[in-house]
Structure 1
Amino acid sequence: MNEQFRKPKGFGEILDHTFRLSKQHFSKLFLILLVMVGPVFLLEALIRLSSGVNLFRQTGSGEAWYDQILSSFEQTTAPGSVNLGADVGIVLIGLIATVFLYPVAEGAILYAIQHIRKDEAYTVGSVLKQAFSRFWPIVGSRLLFMLIVFGFILGPSIFIGLFGVLGSVANPVFGIVFSIILVLACAVVLGYLLTRWSFYFALTVLEHNGPGISRSWGLTSKRSWMLMGFYVVLYLITTLISLAVELSFGLFLGNSVLLMMIINLVTLVTTMIFFVGYAVVYFDFKVRREGDDLKEMIDEYEGNEFE
């Protein structure tokens, strides 16, 4: 086993390991996502071009250059053109990517990290083949998880909305304040539950134990808040990277097709980093759990021996 995966790591060590792996194996890990999702981004670019968006630099109305750039984000099609069909097409291909393509890419990255952990050679084609061999369990578990998340969001949203309306009628200030408190409380509870269930995907892919939600609950015990903090920090880091690139290039390119292509490429990089972090923290929890199980077996054996 690779020495970096052998012992449990702290919060900072997991982050450091995530970025080190992303850098050392960037070409293969990035290529996995590019092969799976790149054609979707290319199709999206062609749809935007056909709807009237400029390729290199999109500008809108206004006298100053910055007014023209800013207005380009409000007007992305040629005057008089209809972009409803383009918007629907982009939404559909985005949904297909989310449900079918990204999960397979994530599964392939999990297999790649597993090979790295075992000091085994791998190719992009071999890990993609492994991921496609688990295609239906991967897609099925992802769809089930999305439905669970949707249900947990829809129910509290309806309750909070009704309570907010009724509370605002009786006392507007109280209704607004209490609604905000309920939203924050529900967000924390939902985040905690999703964190506890988050390893369902790795268990489905690597251990053929789909959907793996109950096992994920046990695997994340005792360190669930640390895991939740890790996801938040990793999300903030990748989001800041994306925003920095979007703002930097957006000042010169406007809302052009080229800007969207650059943003999509950066999205692949940040998605890769997040998937690698997910794999690293999963294997770290596995090491901890296996160590705890071994310790319990030794304690139980020694207890039986002295009886």
Structure 2
Amino acid sequence: MKEKFSKPKGFGEILDHTFRLAKNRFSDFFMVLLILMGPIYLLQALIQLTMGTNFLREVGSGDNWFDQVLTSFDQGSSPESIGADPGSTLGLILTGLATIILLPVAQVAILYIVNHIRKNEEYTVGAVIKQAFSRFWPIFGSSLLMALITIGMFVGPLIIVFMVGFAGSFVNPIIGILFGILLFLGLALVVALLLIRWSFYLGVVAFGKEAPGLSKSWKLTRHRTWILFGIYIIFTLIVGAISTAVEVPVMLLLGNSVLYTIIINVVSLFTTMIISVGYAVVYFDLKIRVDADDLKELIEDYNGPR
């Protein structure tokens, strides 16, 4: 396994290595996420049960089976139901807060596992989780900053697109709409590429003493932005396909029930595991490339004219 980390990998090799790791060490990776996120999902299910949500199958009103299934979700997401169903609202809030706080810690723990595998070192799941929590505040602070940057970078372009589209509609509504759409797509691509350049801050924070690690992430992703963009798209499509393949039939069978929520949360843990392992594989691949480039520069400086 160590040999697979010793040299830079191509697009297909990264995907292959990710899925091999996820398969061979599935229990370790999944256990990390289950230990950190499982209790929150269990609490969410207990709150739903306490508030009267059916465990096996939950349906709403309607003349036929399909309408009943759809209305069970409409009722749970409508503004009226948010106030009328505090259990679901509290469950969503708890899950959201836990994800923001604990998911980065879980991703760092998975980074540590992959690092141990890379070095052929022994480890335990409990030890890597403890090690990840030792970096809790740098992880939390850096993730919070990245979240704020992400929100700002999406809100800003939306405001610009709205203003341009609104102004253009006075000249020609069709041209204004088309220009607004093109401008939105262009700005969205720029934002996505910038976020990719900063996205490996978590690896920097996990293995270094500095935070938030954005500048080093920028250096790591140099000359690899478009490749990383493609990798992110592939992982998104794979995760989306897995989630859809499970969620749609379960939704039609169980409605918005407690069991449906549990199954979707378990699937979410599985897809998060794949993304986290892929993130670790890409991070160490970038480290090899950058370390090799730095070594080449040192050699060139040493052998250069004096």
Shorter-normalised TM range: over 0.9
User: Structure 1: how far apart are the matches of 2:84 and 2:41?
Assistant: 18
The 3-state SS of whatever aligns with 2:226 is helix
* RMSD (Å), alpha carbons: 2.0
Gaps of 5+ in 1: none
2: CA distance, partners of 1:247 / 1:83: 26
Distance in 1 separating the partners of 2:22 and 2:222 = 27
- Greater shift after overlay, 208-217 or 163-172? 163-172
Aligned to 1:266: 267
Aligned mates of 1:176, 1:97 — CA distance in 2: 39
- Tell me, yes or no, if the aligned pair for 2:8 and 2:288 is still in contact at 8 Å: yes
Give identity over the alignment, percent.
Answer: 52
Contact 2:44 2:92 in 1 (8 A): no
2:2 corresponding residue in structure 1: 2
CA deviation map 1:126-177 (0-9, x unaligned) = 0001101000000000001111111112222222212222222332111111
Partner of 2:284: 283
**Match of residue 40 from structure 2:** 40
| In 2, Cα distance between equivalents of 1:54 and 1:116 | 43
Measure how far apart 1:252 and its partner are: 1.3
Give 2:135's aligned residue: 134
**Shift in CA distance, 145/8, structure 1 to aligned 2, threshold 3 Å:** same
Change (3 A) 1:81 1:49: farther
Question: Residues 98-109 of structure 1 correspond to what in structure 2 (within 5 A)?
Answer: 98-109=99-110
Shift in Å, 1:87: 4.2
How many residue pairs match? The answer is 304
> For 1:178-220, what per-residue CA distance to the aligned partner results, in whole angstroms no more than 9, with x for missing partners?
1111110111000000001111111011122211111111111
The corresponding residue for 1:178 is 179
Distance 1:47 1:170, change over 3 A: farther
Match of 1:12 in 2: 12
| 2:60 matched residue in structure 1 | 60
Cα 1:172–1:7, aligned 2, differ >3 Å: closer, same or farther? same
Between the aligned partners of 1:157 and 1:251, the Cα distance in structure 2 is 35
Contact 1:51/1:83, CA 8 A, preserved across alignment? no
What is aligned with 1:111? 112
Equivalent residues in 2 for 1:106-255, closer than 5 Å: 106-255=107-256
Q: Deviations over 1:212-267 (max 9, x none)?
A: 11111111111111011111111111111011100121221112110110010000
Cα deviation 1:32-87 (Å, max 9, x = unaligned) = 0011011111111122223332100112333443333233222359xx99534234
Q: Distance in 1 between matches of 2:31 and 2:171?
A: 57
Q: Distance in 2 between matches of 1:134 and 1:92?
A: 25
When residues 274 and 133 of structure 1 are mapped into structure 2, their CA distance, relative to the original with a 3 A threshold, is same
TM-score (norm 2): 0.94
Distance across 2 between alignment mates of 1:60 and 1:288: 55
1:299 Cα offset (Å): 2.3
The aligned residue for residue 90 of structure 1 is 91
SS of structure 2 residue aligned to 1:73: helix
One-letter amino acid matched to 1:265: V
Q: Residue 74 of structure 1 aligns to a residue in which SS? A: helix
Unaligned residue ranges in structure 2 (runs of 5+): none
Query: What secondary structure does 1:211 align onto?
Result: coil
Residues 46 and 155 of structure 1: CA distance in aligned 2, closer, same or farther (over 3 Å):
same
Partner secondary structure for residue 74 of structure 2: coil
- Cα gap change, 1:102 to 1:81, in 2 (>3 Å): closer
Q: Secondary structure at the match of 2:52?
A: coil
